[in-house]
Structure 1
Amino acid sequence: MVLTTDVPTREQLVRRAADLVPLLRGNAAWAEENRRVHEDSIEALADAGVFRMRVPHRYGGYESDTRTLVEVAAELGRGDGSTSWVASVYWIPTWMAGLFPDHVQDEVFATPDVRVCGTLSPSAMAAPADGGVVVNGKWAFISGAWHSHWQVIVAVLVAPDSEPAPIMALVPMSDLQIVDDWHTAGLKGTGSVSTVAQDLFIPAERVMHLGAILSGQAASASNAGRPIYRAPLLPVASASSVGSAIGMARGARDAFLERLPDRKITYTGYASQREAPLTHLQVAAATMKIDQAEFHAHRLSSLVDTKGETGAEWTLEERARARADMGAVCRLAKEAVDTFAAASGGSSIYSHVPIQRIARDIQAVNLHALMHPNTNDELYGRVLCGLEPNTLYI
């Protein structure tokens, strides 16, 4: 099935995302209480074209560059961090689906506004079978699983005639069991439940070796020359993720400034918090942190997009810096949110005040294994010191 579509500009997509902020803010408390994105928010994201941004153009998608992903996610994140997180997570496995053979893509992208969730963690085992593999195992932290049509799974293939090796496969959600175990302190609204495969047969056409994917070897003939597919997986994933963190920081500033005019500083002579020099210093410092986070996000997305347009080879240092930039965005966004949260006073701990939720959400982002600032700084420093990376995820 081949479709054509008018591709919205970056400005149009960002404006659509900005228009969703009131709806997402209105649904944020429901999402947190129910531990998944509100159905109305999912429908609104679909109507705005958010789920088409990493779909190949021939299926009606936009093939948006990563700078557009950053700016759209930042607007969504102003409304609700969990919803923005889920949208950005969908972008990554959707892009990964475009690496599979074209006839496999025909099946995946036959669903309008298809949503693909996934993971890079090889927490399942696979065994060879006639015409494919049989998989057993469980994957945790599957953001957006409740609203997904497909999942990208990773498992370790153990074959009698070769060394164990990680594989990546596409699986319909109907073939997996969802375990409702998402009871967390942050990013509650993402619905990042676990999924389980039990004696699941996956045909060979929907299986690829993860090592080949990480080294840039795709199986799609149609997408091979497209700019968004001429980049390694980890830099693509890094650039796809950072906009949500920036959006949470911007949302924290919005929430703080909205309450500011009516707040005093208890047990001081300040009848208005807005008049206190301490507040001026806090707001300026936090805003500068957001600006710095935006620098790293834009440097990262510019690198991914420029390399995709030119087809230039990636150096090891560039790949490590991509992860370092992602970590820097997360750290700086958290520092900004922490400043606004600390300045929000005791009344901010009530559940109806958004700043407490945003603080918990950005903390959860910073704990993510691939986004953790310390892990990414160490990897970058290791490469800068002339050592080989101690991970495949680069």
Structure 2
Amino acid sequence: MMSNSPVNEYGQVLLAEAADTERHGRLTAASVTALRDSGSLALRTPIEYGGPWSDASTVVRRLSELGRVCPSAAWTAGTCATSKTMVALRHDTPARKEFFADPEALACGSGLPTGRGVRETEGIRVTGQWDNVSGCESAEWANVALMVDGAYHLAAIPLVDLTIERNWHMAGMRGTGSQRLVADGLLVPAHRVTPSGPPQPQEQLFFGLCLLAPVVGAAQGALDVVRDMFRSDRRPFMTSYTRMGDSPGARHWLADASLLVDRAGRTALTIARDSARDDLTDLDRAHLRANMAGAAKDCRDAVELMLDLHGAAGFRETNSLQRYWRDIAVGSRHPAFSAYLTTESLGAALIP
């Protein structure tokens, strides 16, 4: 299991591989192995299939640790956790046994029903495509949504049966390899296709946390880079200061950035704790979703302060700060963190 340190043996591998992960647009083989060996891909494997079925707080802590060294790896581990959660909660035993045969396997998926299924004697004939499927090039299973007989269903499909179209061309979170999955008349055994429904509100909160935690971790990683700069002989340009830490203004901005990152981390853990309650009202959930969006914005605001402190050198391609910045900019703008929509929902819940 990974410790709180971002530089344990698994973190060291992910950190060393982060640049290549981004360059190739997918996790490197060494990164996938590190995720497997650290138990990060089994976080939501049920206990009966050899996993820990970790609670939301444990998942948030782990994904934050991973995001601190490689946000793309953390994001992929987070979407693996959401996929495994839906399989565990929605699929029947025969499909679960197949899906969780390897408790450490990387899984991916999409909850958007952009496929369709037609019933046949031998199973369900599936046709469709699913965009933005993080980690699909390294995954062994996908759990994707589709419509069958006009109703929402989930299909558990081995990746070898699907086609991958590389259409993920983004400024940030490049290493997630969030490509398009395609099925063209694929016959899926009936026991792997189950009637379901979109994620329930409590599940949506958990899935949002699986995306927020990597962003929080990325902000922590960016802060590590800037603090290292303060410890170096770097000094404010065109000043008489001999090092960054000699400037009261620079120390103030560093403190402000640190407070924002700390607040985002505390918020994520608070949401994780509160989302497990059985007595949540619609208003409670609206508050938690708004707080989640606020934490994502705290991460964006913090890294902007860090870039101002670092100056133009922070945008060198060899400087990991710019990678954290781009990953945070993209990851924090996932629809789960849409501030105007979460505010709209909160307003509606306040005045039912």
- Aligning the two structures, in what range does the TM-score lie when normalised by the shorter sequence? over 0.9
Structure 1 Cα separation of the partners of residues 83 and 328 of structure 2: 22
Q: Contact 1:21–1:76 at 8 Å: present in 2 too?
A: yes
The structure 1 residue matched to 2:134, chosen from 135, 143, 148, is 143
Q: Match for residue 375 of structure 1?
A: 341
How far is the alpha carbon of 1:13 from its aligned partner? 4.0
Change (3 A) 1:173 1:378: same
Q: Match for residue 218 of structure 1?
A: none
Structure 2 Cα separation of the partners of residues 316 and 141 of structure 1: 29
Q: Match for residue 212 of structure 2?
A: 242
What is the SS of the residue equivalent to 2:172? coil
Structure 2 Cα separation of the partners of residues 257 and 142 of structure 1: 34
Q: Match for residue 54 of structure 2?
A: 64
What is the SS of the residue equivalent to 1:199? strand
Q: Match for residue 257 of structure 1?
A: 227
Matches within 5 A, 1:1-394: 12-15=1-4, 18-19=7-8, 20-99=10-89, 100-130=91-121, 132-157=123-148, 159=149, 164-211=150-197, 214-215=199-200, 232-260=202-230, 261-305=232-276, 307=277, 312-386=278-352
Structure 1 Cα separation of the partners of residues 103 and 152 of structure 2: 30
TM-score (norm 2): 0.93
Structure 1 Cα separation of the partners of residues 279 and 188 of structure 2: 33
Structure 2 Cα separation of the partners of residues 379 and 14 of structure 1: 37
Q: Contact 1:235–1:323 at 8 Å: present in 2 too?
A: yes
Structure 1 Cα separation of the partners of residues 328 and 73 of structure 2: 13
Letter in 1 for 2:189: P
Structure 2 Cα separation of the partners of residues 173 and 112 of structure 1: 16
Change (3 A) 1:210 1:101: closer
How far is the alpha carbon of 1:128 from its aligned partner? 3.4
Letter in 2 for 1:275: D
Q: Contact 1:239–1:304 at 8 Å: present in 2 too?
A: no
How far is the alpha carbon of 1:15 from its aligned partner? 4.4
Letter in 2 for 1:185: A
How far is the alpha carbon of 1:323 from its aligned partner? 2.4
Letter in 2 for 1:168: L
Letter in 1 for 2:225: A
Q: Contact 1:77–1:84 at 8 Å: present in 2 too?
A: yes
Q: Render the CA deviation track for 1:298-336: whole Å, top value 9, x for unaligned.
A: 11110233x3xxxx3442223333322321221111111
Letter in 2 for 1:259: M
How far is the alpha carbon of 1:384 from its aligned partner? 2.2
Q: Which runs of 5+ in 1 are unaligned?
A: 1-11, 216-230, 387-394
Q: Render the CA deviation track for 1:56-111: whole Å, top value 9, x for unaligned.
A: 11111011111011111111111111111111111110111102111211111112
Change (3 A) 1:14 1:318: farther
Q: Render the CA deviation track for 1:332-359: whole Å, top value 9, x for unaligned.
A: 1111111112211111111110110110
Which stretch of the first structure deviates more once superposed, 165-174 or 137-146?
A: 165-174
Q: Render the CA deviation track for 1:153-173: whole Å, top value 9, x for unaligned.
A: 11233x3xxxx3332221111
Letter in 2 for 1:248: A
Letter in 1 for 2:40: V
Q: Render the CA deviation track for 1:20-65: whole Å, top value 9, x for unaligned.
A: 2222221111111111111111111111111121111111101111
Letter in 1 for 2:234: R
Q: Render the CA deviation track for 1:239-278: whole Å, top value 9, x for unaligned.
A: 3222211111110110011122321222333332221122
Give 4+ residue runs of structure 1 displaced > 6 Å after superposition. Answer: none
How far is the alpha carbon of 1:180 from its aligned partner? 1.6
Q: Which runs of 5+ in 2 are unaligned?
A: none
Q: Contact 1:18–1:75 at 8 Å: present in 2 too?
A: no
Change (3 A) 1:315 1:203: farther
Which stretch of the first structure deviates more once superposed, 313-322 or 236-245?
A: 313-322
Q: Match for residue 392 of structure 1?
A: none
Q: Contact 1:78–1:251 at 8 Å: present in 2 too?
A: yes
Q: Contact 1:16–1:48 at 8 Å: present in 2 too?
A: no
Q: Aligned-pair RMSD on alpha carbons?
A: 1.9
- Determine what percentage of the aligned residue pairs are the same residue: 28
